[in-house]
Structures are given as C-alpha cells and as structure tokens.
Amino acid sequence: MDPTILAAAAINGLLLGGMYTLVASGLTLIYGVLHIINFAHGSMLMLAMFGVFYLLTKFGIDPYLSMLVMVPAMYGLGYAIYKGVIGRLSSGRDENILLITLGLSILIENIALMLFKGDSRTISVSYSDTMIELGPTLVPLPKLISFAVAMLLCAALALFIQRTDTGRAIRAVAKERVGARLVGIDVDRIFAISYGIGLATLGAAACLLMPIFYVSPTIGHVFVLVAFTVVVLGGMGSFLGAVVGGMIVGLTESFGGLFLGESLGQIGISLIFILILLLRPSGLFGARR
C-alpha cells in the first residue's frame, strides 16, 4: 500500500478522533462521577447543534463565536435537567437513571422533530471548505480547529478537576460517594454540576461540528455508540483517556475503512470495544473499580 495513502489515512484518523474526543469528554465525566450511562447524550448534542444552526441562520452568529453562548447555555440546561428530572425521579437506582435518560432521549428527539421538522440541515460559512495542506493530504480547516479545541478542552477539564476545589469535590464524589457526603460535600449539587459540565462540553462540540457536519433530530444516534467506545476505551472519568481513546478509535475507523471498506470497516470500532472490555474493562487510564 502506498505510504502516502497510509499517511493520509492516519492524519484523517487523528482528526476524526479529535471529533470523537469532543463528544466523549462530557460523557466520560458524567460516567466517571455519576456512574450512569447517559443515554441522553446524543440527543443533547443534537439540541446543541440545532442551537448553533439557528444562531447562525437567524442571528448571523458565527458558530465558533456562538460557543460563548452555547457553552453556558448547555451548562444551565444540564444542571436543570439533573436537578429537575434525573435526580428527582430516579430514586437513586442506577438502572432507573439509565432508563430515565433513555426516556428523555426519546422525548427530546421527538420534541425536536416536532419543532424543527425531520430534514437534515447544513451550514456554510466562509471557512467551511478552506483546505489546509498537511503533508500528503488536504484537510478542511474546521476539522483542524476542532481537533485543536478538543485537546485544549480536555486539558482545561483535566486542570479543572485537578486544581480547583470543585474539581476536588467532583473527584471525591466519583471515588467514594458515601465518604464524600460524610465529609460534608453536597453530593447532589456535585452531580448536578458534573452533568452540567458534561453538557457544556457538548455545547462546544456542537459549535465545532456544525461546519463539518449536518444536524437532524436523529443525529445523536450517529455519535453515541462511538462516544461510548471512546469512553470505555479511555477509561471512564479520564480526560487523557478521552483523548487517547478518541485517537485510537479514529485511527481504527480510518484504517478499517481503508482496508475493509466503509461498510465492513465499521466493525473495527465494535471489536475494539469488545477487546478492551474483555481485557481491561477499566480502560487505558481509568481507575480500577
């Protein structure tokens, strides 16, 4: 195989991985802290992407600029959803939370369908199709930007978790819920904050994905399984894991597509998922549970 093609596939895989890291970073935080599989993650991403779409088409706000709006807005939404719905209705049982997030995702997707209709929408900004030469291949500028921001975002989140008081509280709750409560941490508030941050990252992800992608009420499904794979591979609760996991999944998908075709090649992602779970379920960087 021609080395330029391999190089191109590798670069493409890394950039793809950046997109996945973006979506997975919130999921890994939510899982790491609340120990819930957030089925609503995909539909929240969808909501955020519609937000970016309408901010551009109705108010002319550039998608990258609208991060200033989307990130806090999604944080607020996440906090509210946790406090108002998940925290209140789950009576504390894990499988119930799972089902509630599932019910929520059905609700949200179909409300979006009613409001926004079913068609897929794309946006076109001046830099949508600007291509940058990177070695043997041309890459779209938005993909490079989203990769860079994904790395920055994970670094920022990791710093936040390590250095701030809230971050320490989050780590405490993630590690030992009862103990955290005993030392006076308001566990419920930490849950809400974590869910909020998780959704805030989706706000950022949406801004970065819209120039590359499209939005429709069912777009969540397109990313959810991959995001879970990245989180499990990287280790639940680890941002470094989200980065490394994203890269690995992106590269696997890219090379899988190259060698097996874009249909069978998708099997690579699921196989990685299975292998990691069989061999090292806590993931590459996750804490052993």
Partner 1 sequence: MTSHSRITRRSILKAGAAGAVLGVPGLSLAQAKSIKVGLLHPVSGALAYSGGQSRLGGMLAIDEINASGGIKSMGGAKLEALLGDSQSRPEVGVSEVERMQQEGVAAYVGCFASGIALPATQAAAKYNTPFLIDVGVSDALVSRGLKNVFRLAPGNGKCVDDAFAGLAEVNKTAGGLAKTAVIVHEDSEFGTSTAKLLSAKLSGIGLEVKEVLKHATPTRDFTNLVLRIKAIKPDIVIMSNYQNEYVLIARTIYQQKVDLAGMFSVLGGGFNYKLVKEQPEVAQYMMDFNHWYNPKNPKALDMRKRVEAKDNLFTFEVYCTYNSVKLFADALENAKSADKEKVIAALEVSTWADHFMPYGPTKFVNGQNQGGRAALLQASRTDIDVVWPNEFAAVKPVFPRPKFS
Partner 2 sequence: MNSQLQPVPWKLHLAVLAAALAFPFVFPSNFAVNFGVLALFYAFIGQSWNMAGGFAGQLSFGHVAFFGAGAYASTILQLRFGMSPWAGLPAAALAGALVGGVIAVLSFRAGLRGSYFALITLAFAEVLRIIANSTDLTGGGLGMLIPMKAGAANFQFAERSGFYYLILLLTLLSVALAEWLRRSRFGARLAAIRENEESAMALGINVFAEKVRVMLLSGALCGVGGCFFAQYFLYIDPTIVFGVDKSVEMLLVSIIGGAGTVYGPLIGAVLLALASEGTRAITQVPGLSLVLYGALLVLIIAYLPNGLIDLFKRRPQPRKETR
* Choice between 137 and 166, CB closer to partner 1: 137
* Choice between 89 and 131, CB closer to partner 1: 131
* Choice between 97 and 104, CB closer to partner 1: 104
Quote the tokens at residue 257. 């597509």
Among 158-166, 175-183, 200-208, 214-222, the segment contacting partner 1 (CB under 8 A): 214-222
Distance of CA 250 to the CA centre of its chain: 14
Residue matched to tokens 């904050």 = 193
Contact 253, 269 (CB under 8 A): yes
Give yes or no for residue 5 binding partner 1 (CB under 8 A).
Answer: yes
Residue 34 C-beta: closest distance to partner 1, Å: 27
Contact 156, 67 (CB under 8 A): no
Give yes or no for residue 135 binding partner 1 (CB under 8 A).
Answer: no
Pairwise CA distance, residues 63 & 140, whole Å? 16
Taking alpha carbons only, the member of 280, 220, 273, 278 closest to residue 248 is 273
User: For residue 261, is it left (φ>0), alpha (ψ between -120 and 50) or beta?
Assistant: left
* Choice between 77 and 209, CB closer to partner 1: 209
Interacting partner of 104 out of partner 1, partner 2, none (Cβ under 5 to 8 A depending on kind): partner 2
Residues that bind partner 2 (CB under 8 A): 35, 37, 85, 88-96, 98-100, 102-111, 113-114, 117-118, 177-178, 187, 217, 225, 228-229, 232, 263-264, 266-267, 270-271, 273-274, 277-279, 281
Residue 52 C-beta: closest distance to partner 2, Å: 21
Give yes or no for residue 138 binding partner 1 (CB under 8 A).
Answer: yes
Residue 1 C-beta: closest distance to partner 1, Å: 11
Contact 215, 112 (CB under 8 A): no
Interacting partner of 120 out of partner 2, partner 1, none (Cβ under 5 to 8 A depending on kind): partner 1
Interacting partner of 155 out of partner 2, partner 1, none (Cβ under 5 to 8 A depending on kind): none
The one-letter amino acid code at 278 reads: L
Contact 153, 141 (CB under 8 A): no
Q: DSSP letter string over 157-217?
A: HHHHHHHSHHHHHHHHHHH-HHHHHHTT--HHHHHHHHHHHHHHHHHHHHHHHTTTS-B-T
Pairwise CA distance, residues 9 & 251, whole Å? 8
Interacting partner of 172 out of partner 1, partner 2, none (Cβ under 5 to 8 A depending on kind): none
Per DSSP (E only), the strands in the chain are: 131-134, 137-140
Residues that bind partner 1 (CB under 8 A): 2, 5, 8-9, 12, 16, 19, 110, 113, 117-124, 129, 131, 137-138, 140, 213-214, 216-218, 221-223, 226, 253-254, 257-258, 261-264, 266
